[in-house]
Amino acid sequence: MSANGNTNSPLLDIRNLRIEGLSEQGWHEIVCGVDLQLKRGEVLGLIGESGAGKSTIGLAAMGFARDGCRITGGDIIFDGMELRTASEEQKRKLRGTRIAYVAQSAAAAFNPAHRLLDQYAEAPVDHGVLSRSEAEQKGRDLYRRLDLPDPERIGERWPHQVSGGQLQRMMVAMAMSCSPDLLIFDEPTTALDVTTQIEVLQTIKHIVTAQQVAAIYITHDLAVVAQVADRLMVLRYGNLVEMETTTQILEAPTQDYTRALLEAHTRHEKSPTSATESGTLLAIDSVTAGYRNGPNILQDVSVAVKRGQTVAIVGESGSGKSTLARVITGLLPPRSGDIRFGGELLPPALAQRNKQQLRQAQMIYQMPDVALNPRQCVRDIIGRPLSFYLGMSGKEHERRVIELLEQIELSERYIDRFPGELSGGEKQRICIARALAAEPDLIICDEVTSALDTIVAKAILDLLQRLQRELHLTYLFISHDLDTVASIADQVVVFYAGRVAEQGPKSTVFEPPFHPYTRLLLSSVPEMRQGWLEDTLSTREAQAGIAREVKIIERGCPFVERCPVAIPETCVRDLPPLQTVAPAHTIACQHSPDALAN
């Protein structure tokens, strides 16, 4: 019950909220008179592009403004308390106990020097809500509800010892440690693969319903927010565009901008691309690799990448996608197998490769925030490969940096800016320019759009495809987002537990017959309609396979514990045979293609 005794009154009431941000030109308004009300058991989704003010409004609901921002007007009333006039001590007691925040980047939110369970227990113990032993037990219980592996002991790990998806779920658990009344989710599933995302959404929905928690869900993904939100608030440049029920927004939006958001989320299939030049650029032949004395993370992997095409590597966290990229670049020498580039055998280790071999394959990383040195300006970031690989200096160096900025559709005025002065999309464009500066033949794109909002991500994909056409580039595109893969890939390789489950042209991989794991991935892609989550959770694939741990095993099929059509004994004992479905399309499964089609 709320402090004023009326259960029907809003738990959160924000009126005429105004917030200013500091820029080079001085203070300017970034949230312009926004109103919202939120009752217990209700979820309000905030949607819009980067810079719309979503996270700023979410933080303001806690009475907080980030550095460089200030709340200049309006009322923020939480359960009868005006947060704008509350003391810092009063707000400190609310934060973490009655209001909790789940950040987008779990990797940045956790302290790398403390074990995970210690960080979970800190808030309830410090606020006097639970004893240490009670907090630890509640943490293990929540880990189990979130379907984390080994819930009794995973809390003893350090943040770097769990996958990104596992770390994000642990942050949701940490936010629930004090059983808050209001939860603010800031892109909580952006970094998650589709199967893990479903489990987290199910948990969020259960928490809101069972505990009558109010929630603000900040996202750029309309299909995701449609599964949990009762109402949607569409924002642009700090202004309210429209606010209606989720059904109304999805089915009959009234504003052009909302329709543009819906259109950007619609899957746009890439037309098949023929190789621009004959031959295979990159050939990975029977590669097995692992870390130190650990198990083989990659097992007998073979992939061919033709010149001028885009090959997508898809799979959940822990499938070995990024490990393959490390092997290709020489950061992780394989235990067996060969890698050939343009027909030339590459030395296995980075230190053994010459400058030419290093130059021809470049990477664009998932998180531009941590991929760019915050102390270097754009000129130095893009210019480093020019001097290192191509020996450029002086006016030639400067002219080429400007040309690269133009190629990524940024003007010369960005040349002296630092990463902190750029938006997420602009940072990723700088990462693309840095890769292009080396004039590579192959660019490895590791989840390059997963941290970006829908419209910005579409612009990045359009840019990558334009550059591919103009410069005859070849891409190895690592992703867990099948909609993104559909829009950019020519060939698709489905990874599971370090093995290739299925590979072939996109047009055949995305049509029956499917490998059972491919079917699970495709069925887990959210649809832009309410009720999709419940429908999906009732399917055989979901009940068998969603959010289970990816286990590396030496014998049998690694998908056997999650497969709804596993053959007892056979799939546990024998490696799945490689079966040809169509030209260049293979599936590793005990079932025949005809059986899988049916």
| 431-to-5, 107, 134, 261, 448 alpha-carbon distances in Å | 54, 20, 46, 25, 9
Output b/e per residue, 57-72; b: 16+ Cβ within 10 A. bbbbbbbbbeeebebe
Whether the per-residue pLDDT at 91 is higher than 60: the answer is yes
In a domain, 340, yes or no: yes
Nearest to 578 by CA among 495, 497, 503, 491: 503
Contact 513, 581 (CB under 8 A): yes
Q: Which residue has the higher pLDDT, 582 or 590?
A: 590
6 falls in which pLDDT band (50, 70, 90)? low
The pLDDT value given to residue 5:
47
Return the structure tokens found at 348.
């296995």
Distance CA 582, CA 503 (A): 11
Radius of gyration over every alpha carbon of the chain, rounded to an integer in angstroms: 25
The pLDDT value given to residue 480:
83
1 falls in which pLDDT band (50, 70, 90)? very low
The pLDDT value given to residue 101:
93
In a domain, 76, yes or no: yes
In a domain, 136, yes or no: yes
Same-domain status, 42 and 140: no
Number of folded domains in the chain? 3
The pLDDT value given to residue 367:
79
Residue 555, class by beta-carbon neighbours within 10 Å (0-12 exposed, 13-18 middle, 19+ buried)?
A: exposed
Q: How much of the chain, in percent, has pLDDT values that exceed 70?
A: 94
Same-domain status, 87 and 147: no
Distance CA 547, CA 249 (A): 30
Same-domain status, 260 and 305: no
Same-domain status, 306 and 375: yes
113 falls in which pLDDT band (50, 70, 90)? very high
In a domain, 504, yes or no: no
Q: Which residue in this structure is represented by tokens 């007691």? A: 93
Among 158, 179, 200, where does a domain finish?
A: 179
Q: Which residue has the higher pLDDT, 471 or 3?
A: 471
One-letter amino acid of 96: G
The pLDDT value given to residue 7:
55
Contact 254, 242 (CB under 8 A): yes
In a domain, 508, yes or no: no
- Parallel/antiparallel/unpaired status of strands 99-102 and 280-290: unpaired
Whether the per-residue pLDDT at 493 is higher than 90: the answer is yes
Q: How much of the chain, in percent, has pLDDT values that exceed 90?
A: 63
Q: Residue 323 — left, alpha, or beta (φ > 0 → left; ψ -120 to 50 → alpha)? A: alpha
In a domain, 389, yes or no: yes
Same-domain status, 358 and 447: yes
Mean pLDDT rounded to a whole number for the chain: 89
Whether the per-residue pLDDT at 15 is higher than 60: the answer is yes
Residue 234, class by beta-carbon neighbours within 10 Å (0-12 exposed, 13-18 middle, 19+ buried)?
A: buried
Alpha helices (runs of H) in 244-343, residue ranges in sequence order: 246-251, 256-265, 321-329
Same-domain status, 83 and 218: yes
In a domain, 532, yes or no: no
Distance CA 195, CA 224 (A): 12
In a domain, 405, yes or no: yes
- The three-class DSSP label of residue 72 is strand
Same-domain status, 83 and 114: no
The pLDDT value given to residue 553:
81
146 falls in which pLDDT band (50, 70, 90)? confident
Domain interval for residue 156: 107-179
Same-domain status, 164 and 302: no
162 falls in which pLDDT band (50, 70, 90)? confident
Whether the per-residue pLDDT at 164 is higher than 70: the answer is no
Q: Is the peptide bond prior to 513 cis by the omega test (within 30 degrees of 0)?
A: yes
Whether the per-residue pLDDT at 83 is higher than 50: the answer is yes
Same-domain status, 428 and 470: yes
Whether the per-residue pLDDT at 437 is higher than 60: the answer is yes
Same-domain status, 294 and 235: no
Same-domain status, 410 and 430: yes
Nearest to 583 by CA among 518, 491, 501: 491
pLDDT mean over 416-431: 88
Return the structure tokens found at 121.
């227990």
Contact 436, 364 (CB under 8 A): no
Whether the per-residue pLDDT at 2 is higher than 50: the answer is no
pLDDT 10s digits, 529-567: 888 998 888 876 666 666 566 778 888 999 998 898 999
Same-domain status, 241 and 369: no
The pLDDT value given to residue 274:
56
Alpha helices (runs of H) in 127-221, residue ranges in sequence order: 132-145, 164-175, 194-211
pTM assigned to the model:
0.82
Distance CA 77, CA 64 (A): 13
